């Protein structure tokens, strides 16, 4: 390889870096959780402990990562394994008596034509309160087949993220599951 080519290559790399910095300065590059890699996502084993590093490793006091329920993929189940602790005692309505979320950040609302007598006849919307959620991943881990459909995933919320040059969560993540994206391609 000639010296010229080497110099051109170096300049090209530097120019790429400069372009990256400009894009970042314009807020166009953002961090996001890659759900196809995150241990908690529906693609990984059910029943193991959820990974909570997205909660503990973020530089922001209440992590910038939140659980997000994609309603179009949600089964609107009566016995939602992300909402209820399905191993808790069953109450008089035939439902588990305890909730799963340690921060009580998931609300449940019957939708459509509601049967007040029998909860099993209804469909439910599960709404995550992002001011309470700290992205611990417990509900994400439970929303898996056969009981859940994997509609809940962890996501970096851009209004809360300070967009570190090198995301602290990525440094700790066992799955290398934080990625950078142009904001117009981001979730
Ligand atoms: S640190 Fe990685 S594996 Fe753990 S919850 Fe975050 S993205 Fe998932
Ligand atoms: S990620 Fe954790 S805090 Fe957030 S809604 Fe799910 S269980 Fe609750
Ligand atoms: S880039 Fe920084 S603020 Fe954003 S999720 Fe990662 S550690 Fe948190």
How close is the Cα of 17 to the center of ligand 2, in Å? 37
- Whether ligand 2 lies within 6 angstroms of the CB of 81 is answered as no
How far apart, in whole angstroms, are the C-alpha atoms of residue 22 and residue 92?
60
At 27 the pLDDT is: 55
* The pLDDT of residue 22 is above 70: no
* The pLDDT of residue 185 is above 90: no
Report the half-sphere exposure of 22 (CA within 13 A, side-chain side): 6
**Region for residue 74 given its phi and psi (left: phi exceeds 0; alpha: psi -120 to 50; beta: otherwise):** beta
pLDDT digits (tens, 9 = 90+) for 41-92: 999 988 899 999 999 999 999 999 999 999 999 999 999 999 999 999 999 8
- Whether ligand 2 lies within 6 angstroms of the CB of 68 is answered as no
At 134 the pLDDT is: 98
ω into 63 cis (within 30 of 0) = no
Extents of the domains making up the chain: 3-185
How far apart, in whole angstroms, are the C-alpha atoms of residue 51 and residue 48?
9
Which atom of ligand 2 lies at the shortest distance from residue 152's CA?
6
Q: Which of 6-10, 86-90, 160-164 is predicted least confidently?
A: 6-10
Which atom of ligand 2 lies at the shortest distance from residue 100's CA?
7
Whole-model pTM?
Answer: 0.84
**Region for residue 134 given its phi and psi (left: phi exceeds 0; alpha: psi -120 to 50; beta: otherwise):** alpha
Sign of the C-alpha dihedral computed for residues 152, 153, 157 and 158 taken in this order: negative
166 pLDDT band (50/70/90 cuts)?
A: very high
Both tokens of 42, joined, read 């529906």
For the segment 164-185, the average pLDDT, to the nearest whole number, is 95
pLDDT digits (tens, 9 = 90+) for 117-145: 888 899 999 999 999 999 999 999 999 99
How close is the Cα of 28 to the center of ligand 2, in Å? 28
Summary mean pLDDT of the chain = 87
**Other Cβ atoms within 10 Å of 155 Cβ, number:** 20
13 pLDDT band (50/70/90 cuts)?
A: very low
């Amino acid at each position: 390889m000639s010296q010229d080519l080497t110099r051109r290559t170096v300049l090209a790399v530097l120019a790429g870096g400069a372009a990256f910095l400009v894009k970042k300065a314009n807020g166009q590059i953002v961090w996001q959780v890659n759900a196809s890699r995150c241990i908690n996502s529906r693609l990984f084993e059910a029943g193991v402990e959820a990974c909570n590093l997205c909660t503990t490793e973020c530089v922001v006091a209440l992590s910038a990562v939140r659980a997000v329920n994609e309603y179009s993929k949600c089964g609107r189940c009566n016995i939602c394994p992300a909402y209820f602790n399905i191993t808790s005692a069953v109450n008089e309505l035939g439902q588990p008596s305890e909730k799963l979320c340690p921060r009580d950040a998931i609300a449940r609302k019957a939708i459509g034509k509601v049967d007040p007598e029998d909860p099993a006849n209804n469909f439910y919307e599960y709404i995550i309160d992002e001011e309470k959620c700290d992205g611990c991943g417990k509900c994400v881990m439970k929303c898996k087949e056969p009981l859940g459909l994997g509609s809940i995933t962890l996501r970096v919320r851009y209004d809360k993220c300070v967009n570190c040059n090198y995301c602290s969560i990525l440094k700790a993540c066992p799955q290398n599951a934080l990625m950078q994206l142009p904001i117009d391609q981001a979730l």
